[in-house]
Amino acid sequence: MNTTPGLLHQATALANSDAPMVDPFGRSVTYLRVSVTDRCDFRCTYCMSENMTFLPKKDLLTLEELDRLCSAFITKGVRKLRLTGGEPLVRKNIMYLVRALGRHIETGKLEELTLTTNGSQLARYADELYDCGVRRINVSLDTLDPEKFHAITRWGDLANVMKGIDAAQKAGIHVKLNAVALKGFNEDEFPEMLRFAHARGMDLTLIETMPMGEIEEDRTDRYLPLSTVRARLAEQFSLSPIPFKTGGPASYVKVEQTGGRLGFITPLTHNFCESCNRVRLTCTGTLYMCLGQNDAADLRTPLRASEGDALLSLAIDEAIGRKPKGHDFIIDRKGQRPAVARHMSVTGG
Ligand code: SAM
Ligand code: SF4
């Protein structure tokens, strides 16, 4: 980006950094997901290959820069912010960023600061997360069987994640479990997982596997439509649709037998784009306006071009103006390549 004083002056005049972000389809952007690192201490088979090449550390935005970027979005109307990754809690000194963002909870500008985590570091950080204003988190858990857990995560230890969940609940953080539905892996476990989650006061959300990034296996072999899962669960449980929303794309039912909530995220069988309120920021300052499309905007250059936020605000407005109507994920045996080349760990779930 040209950073001549003339352009900066023009940008300052044009930028209305407090104006809410509304995309060309009239959707307000109020939810920012931030992948703070692409690295992870697990290697879930559907998410990453075993030998991943990660970004060089020098390409990452600093935590101070991430705070500045997130704060610019909050000024522009973001009310919910989710830290994700890779594994957000393995980024060095991550609590600096969580604490810095927590100040927006204190002022009331931000309604919710949350994260999606694999739970491996939760036992260590739960109390501090609560102290920083985090009240709800999502923990990814695809199975309750320790051996299967080790197999799917390659490097994970279920007992450690369970300790993390205990610690989070003890700290007063509301935990929601997320499980990716995988054919031939956990499809028989959902009744048990549902009872487990609900007995501990946790919602459970099931997710369809999305075609993102090259992995060792063929995702079509593991793809399990949630319409099938739901029909099977309905044979055992009474599922009543409820209007409950968390700001994310899940649609929920109440399970009458347990009294708990079960969510379905169905990017493949049901396109949820019409109500999309989200954009995604990577740890290098790239903004993806849609999880399922390749178009992206570079925010690192305007961030670094000046100390003020006028150029940045203008670049954000320009990017929101390009937010597409929706994604078109399909899992297709003929089309061997993933719909989106980047892995989920780049933009976070
Ligand atoms: N490491 C953290 C975790 O696992 O919760 C945060 C990042 S992870 C990429 C976020 C979510 O994306 C997880 O719930 C994970 O199961 C899910 N995920 C990863 N790859 C996926 C894929 N290809 N399709 C669907 N969900 C995926
Ligand atoms: Fe890591 Fe989360 Fe991907 Fe698993 S799903 S490899 S925990 S980023």
Give yes or no for residue 156 CB within 6 A of ligand 2: no
Residue nearest ligand 1's atom 21 by CA: 47
- How big is the chain by its Cα radius of gyration, in Å? 20
**CA-to-CA separations, 262 to 31, 78, 101, in angstroms, rounded:** 22, 26, 30
Separation CA 248–CA 193 (nearest Å): 21
Give the burial string for 7-36 (b: 16+ CB within 10 Å, else e).
bbeebbeebebeeebebeeebebbbbbbbb
In this prediction, residue 2 carries a pLDDT of 46
Query: Between residues 347 and 20, which one has the greater pLDDT?
Result: 20
Please give the torsion angle defined by the CA atoms of residues 345, 204, 80 and 94, in that order, rounded to the nearest 10 degrees.
-50
Q: CA 184, CA 123: separation in Å to the nearest integer?
A: 31
In sequence order, which residues have a C-beta less than 8 Å from that of residue 237 and are 6 or more positions away?
191, 194, 255, 256, 257, 258
Contact 149 CB / ligand 2 (< 6 Å): no
Strand order in the sheet with 174-181: 239-242, 251-255, 261-265, 203-208, 174-181, 136-140, 112-117, 80-84, 31-35, 278-281, 286-288, 296-298
Query: Which pLDDT score, from 0 to 100, does residue 7 have?
Result: 60
Type of residue found at 242: I
Two structure tokens written together for 66: 């991430």
Amino acid (1-letter code) at residue 255: V
Which pLDDT score, from 0 to 100, does residue 326 have?
81
**In the predicted model, is pLDDT for residue 108 greater than 50?**
yes
How far is Cα 47 from Cα 103, in angstroms, rounded to an integer? 33
Question: 349 CA distance to ligand 1 centroid (A)?
Answer: 5
CB of 209 shorter than 6 A to ligand 1: yes
Q: What is the mean pLDDT of the chain?
A: 89
87 lines ligand 1 (CB under 6 A): yes
Contact 252, 319 (CB under 8 A): no
| pLDDT of 70 higher than 80 | yes
Mutate to test the pocket of ligand 2, among 49, 91, 120, 140 (most ligand atoms within 8 A of CB): 140
What pLDDT, on the 0 to 100 scale, is given for residue 334?
46
Q: How confident is the model at residue 311 (pLDDT cuts 50, 70, 90)?
A: very high
Pick 147 or 250 by higher pLDDT.
Answer: 147
Answer yes or no: is the C-beta of 180 below 6 A from any ligand 1 atom.
Answer: yes
Residue 140 near ligand 1, beta carbon < 6 Å? yes
Amino acid identity of residue 109, one-letter, is K
Q: Which ligand is nearest to the CA of 152?
A: 2
Residue-wise pLDDT tens digits, 238-293: 999 999 887 777 889 999 999 999 999 887 665 667 888 999 999 999 999 988 78
- Please identify, by atom number, the ligand 1 atom nearest to the C-alpha of residue 139: 5
Query: pTM for the whole thing?
Result: 0.91
Q: Per-residue pLDDT averaged across 33-50, rounded?
A: 95
Query: Would the CB of 117 count as within 6 Å of ligand 1?
Result: yes
At 157-209, the pLDDT tens digits run 999 999 999 999 999 999 999 999 999 999 999 999 999 999 999 999 999 88
**Does residue 180's CB lie within 6 angstroms of at least one atom of ligand 2?**
no
Whether residue 332 has pLDDT greater than 70: no
Query: Which domains, ranges and CATH numbers included, belong to the chain?
Result: 29-347 (3.20.20.70)
- How many other CB atoms are found less than 10 A from the CB of residue 39? 17
**Residue with the larger pLDDT of the pair 109 and 325:** 109
Closest CA to 219 of 184, 250, 177: 184
